[in-house]
A and B are shown apart, each in its own frame.
Chain A
């Protein structure tokens, strides 16, 4: 019975919560094949994370806490994954389609000449062991079904928030095996000089709730100070900081933005949702002052509930929203923040 491998992604020694979704997807495959659901945990704190993976349903864990694996680097991670795949011939390797998951699985699939499907939102195991996966194509405008045969190991990355996570069960344990790294530090060309973390912000792709701002954020009634330079940029930045952010804070939400807001310099590119930014799929997406160009829709159309707040009642965003509020976001958002504080008891 060949195993199903699930890479548990960690950051600074802690598992990303979406990793339990990958274990959930892995369980779907392991159920059919009868193989062991095996967590792969590399890097700092690997033993503790492997224990957590056991609580989330992994029956086996392969861990490597070698110093060369502290902090993700493709070369040592891919070399180790490739070796483990060659040794164990697993039925499948799964990970979440994060920046790291995408490159790690693709690299190892290339090393082993295996098939790969990335960023899938559903999986269906066929009678012959092949898998049909559904993924989005043409910037989210259509879906495609892609099949992967059962001849070799199937490499699959899953879209965050698309699969049900394996819930934790206290006391459940994985049988842990330590494995040795493949590369030594002098064989690794890539050196990390430093990491500039975005402190205190909620990751857009993991977020259950997102509050996004668009061009309309520049209609701030406040006057820009005389030395502000571009008044529209000052007004928009002030709006993101003092109107959007407080609403996001009370909701525990991430802050997103439209391309128009990013290109105008209102907020950094890392917040852009849409075709040349991030694709998100929260339970609740609140679009504030965003008209809803097709390129923006590409990044957020799979949100469960969309709320549109815009002063233009003809804005295309209302066509895809569940709830629409026509009005001035500079009046509605503070009222909404106050109401939520009251109702959510914060």
Chain B
């Protein structure tokens, strides 16, 4: 069996992100890290490959900055890593991303399970993942908080999904694309030996020609990034005994009409 985990590099979660005069996003000299949601996907990839007696491959779509997340994946213990980059591929368009991602999974040939983090914190989207599942024609199980059973020989999977109103337990068939939530596992830290091995790894890059696909014309376009509207941050401190603070706060909240 073969598990694929999609990952990408994102600015450090504590970084101050701003929009420059050119409309582009900058995060100063803050480091890039593996997308925080992907850590759970990578850990689950390692666990599933081990349980199924198979291997795990990490894939990133985009420029060289994403080597960072792929090296992290190898250092954690995934077996292989591939990056997909092509000047004709606009990975910001979810259909283009999904088309390339599905082609890469097909090119690997023997994949039973694709695991993704719930979303990418940079672009803040998840639709490219669901669209990859549709382009593959595979089962999609999103928001998975637990894999309860998986039988690669029989091609069945049973998971717990975390939805707004509670937990849903479902069974379905493999191959499948799943997205995982934070609850699913405790991601490991890369080992010293893992980091050393990963630092020497040469990561192959596949082009659209290698994948043999042409993405459909993009219907969406990123127009510009904008800084947030300036928040009226003048905080009004409410002092006194706890009872006085409570009374004054209720007065203020009634004035603000939020109660």
Question: Given A113-B216, A152-B219, A327-B242, are A139 and B124 also a contact pair (CB < 8 Å)?
Answer: yes
Contact B220 A305 (CB under 8 A): no
A32 within 8 A of B: no
Determine whether the beta carbon of B16 is less than 8 Å from that of A141: yes
Which B residues touch A301, using CB under 8 A? Answer: 228, 231
**How far does the alpha carbon of A140 sit from the alpha carbon of B95 in the complex, in Å?**
23
Q: Which of B123, B127, B169, B224 sits near A106, CB closer than 8 Å?
A: B127
* Residues of B close to A128: CB separation below 8 A: none
Pairs of residues from A and B, 7 with the lowest C-beta to C-beta distance, nearest first: A115-B219, A110-B131, A106-B127, A110-B134, A106-B130, A335-B246, A331-B242
Task: Name the CB-closest residue of A to B93.
Answer: A115
> Can you list 11 A-B pairs, Cβ within 8 angstroms, ordered by A?
A106-B131, A115-B219, A137-B123, A140-B124, A142-B17, A145-B223, A146-B222, A195-B165, A203-B164, A308-B235, A344-B259
Is B124 in contact with A138, judged by CB distance below 8 angstroms? Answer: yes
Compute how far the CA of A78 lies from the CA of B135 in the bound complex, rounded to whole angstroms.
13
Q: Count of chain A residues with Cβ under 8 Å from any Cβ of B?
A: 94
A142 and B222 contacting across the interface, CB-CB below 8 Å? no
Partner of A138, one of B122, B142, B222, B252: B122
A134–B224 CA distance with the chains assembled, in angstroms: 10
CA–CA, A102 and B119, complex, Å: 11
In the assembled complex, A179 has its CB within 8 A of some CB on chain B: no
One of B121, B225, B236, B245 near A322 (C-beta < 8 A): B236
Pairwise interchain contact B245-A277, C-beta atoms closer than 8 A: no
B191 interface residue, CB < 8 Å from A? no
Q: What is the minimal beta-carbon distance from A95 to any residue of chain B, in angstroms?
A: 12
Nearest A residue to B173 by beta-carbon distance?
Answer: A189
Contact of A139 among B121, B158, B216 (CB under 8 A): B121
Chain B interface residues (CB < 8 Å from chain A) = 11, 13-14, 16-19, 25, 36-37, 93-95, 98, 121-127, 130-131, 133-135, 139-143, 145, 158, 162-173, 181-183, 216, 218-228, 231-233, 235-239, 242-243, 245-247, 249-250, 252-254, 256, 258-259
Task: Say which one of A19-27, A44-52, A54-62, A313-321 lies at the interface with B.
Answer: A313-321
Does any Cβ of B come within 8 Å of A339's Cβ?
yes
Which chain A residues border B163 with CB–CB below 8 Å? 99-100
From B139, B225, B238, B252, A137 is in contact (CB under 8 Å) with B225
| Interface contacts beyond A203-B165, A283-B258, A336-B245: sample of 18 additional A-B pairs, CB < 8 Å, sorted by A | A102-B130, A110-B98, A115-B219, A138-B124, A139-B122, A142-B225, A144-B222, A144-B226, A145-B222, A146-B223, A190-B170, A195-B167, A270-B162, A323-B253, A326-B237, A332-B245, A335-B246, A340-B259
Q: Is the CB of B130 within 8 A of A110?
A: yes
List A contacts of B222 (CB < 8 A).
144-146
B-side contacts of A277, CB under 8 Å: 182
- A173 contacts partner chain B, Cβ-Cβ < 8 Å: no
State which of A111, A118, A323 has its C-beta within 8 Å of the C-beta of B236. Answer: A323
Scan A147-158; emit 1 where CB is below 8 A from any B CB, else 0: 111011010000
Contact indicator A339/B220 (Cβ below 8 Å): no
Taking a contact as CB atoms under 8 Å apart, the answer to whether B249 and A138 are in contact is: no
Give the residues in chain A near B237, CB-CB below 8 Å. Answer: 318, 323-326
Q: Contact: A295 with B13, CB < 8 Å? A: yes
B13 touches A139 (CB 8 A): yes
Residue A103, interface by CB 8 Å: yes
User: Are B13 and A340 within 8 A (Cβ)?
Assistant: no
Q: Of residues 83 to 118 in A, which have CB atoms within 8 Å of B's CB atoms? A: 98-100, 102-103, 105-107, 109-111, 113-118
Q: Which residue of B lies closest to A294 (CB)?
A: B14
A102 and B126 within 8 A (CB)? yes
* Contact A144 B182, beta carbon cutoff 8 Å: no
Say yes or no for A186: interface residue by CB 8 A criterion: no
B228→A143 contact, CB < 8 A: yes
**Closest-CB distance, B154 to chain A (whole angstroms):** 13
When distances are taken between beta carbons in the complex, the residues of chain A under 8 Å from B233 are 319-320
Q: Point out the residue from B95, B134, B219, B258 that lies within 8 Å of A209, measured CB to CB.
A: B258
The answer to whether residues A336 and B246 also contact, given A102-B126, A283-B258 and a CB cut-off of 8 A, is yes
CB of B113, distance to nearest CB on chain A (Å):
15
How far does the alpha carbon of A147 sit from the alpha carbon of B239 in the complex, in Å? 48
A285 smallest CB distance to B (angstroms): 10
Q: When the two chains form their complex, are residues A138 and B17 in contact, meaning their CB atoms are under 8 A apart? A: yes
Determine if A132 is an interface residue (Cβ-Cβ < 8 Å). yes
Interface centre among A99, A198, A209 (most CB of B within 10 A): A99
On chain B, the residues within 8 Å of A74 by CB distance are 140
Determine the distance from Cα of A277 to Cα of B164 in the docked complex, in whole angstroms.
Answer: 12
Q: Is the CB of A318 within 8 A of B127?
A: no
**Known pairs A321-B235, A332-B242; A294 contacts B13 (CB<8 A):** yes
Instruction: Decide if B226 touches A143 in the complex (CB within 8 Å).
Output: yes
- Across-interface contacts of A223 in B (CB, < 8 A): none
- Please provide the chain A residues from 274 to 330 with a CB less than 8 Å away from any CB of chain B in the complex: 275-277, 283-284, 293-295, 301, 304-305, 307-308, 318-328
B121 partner residues in chain A, CB cutoff 8 A: 138-139, 275
Contact, CB under 8 Å: B13 / A320: no
Judge whether A234 is part of the interface by a CB distance below 8 angstroms.
no
CA distance A138 to B130 in the complex (A): 20
Q: Is the CB of A115 within 8 A of B218?
A: yes
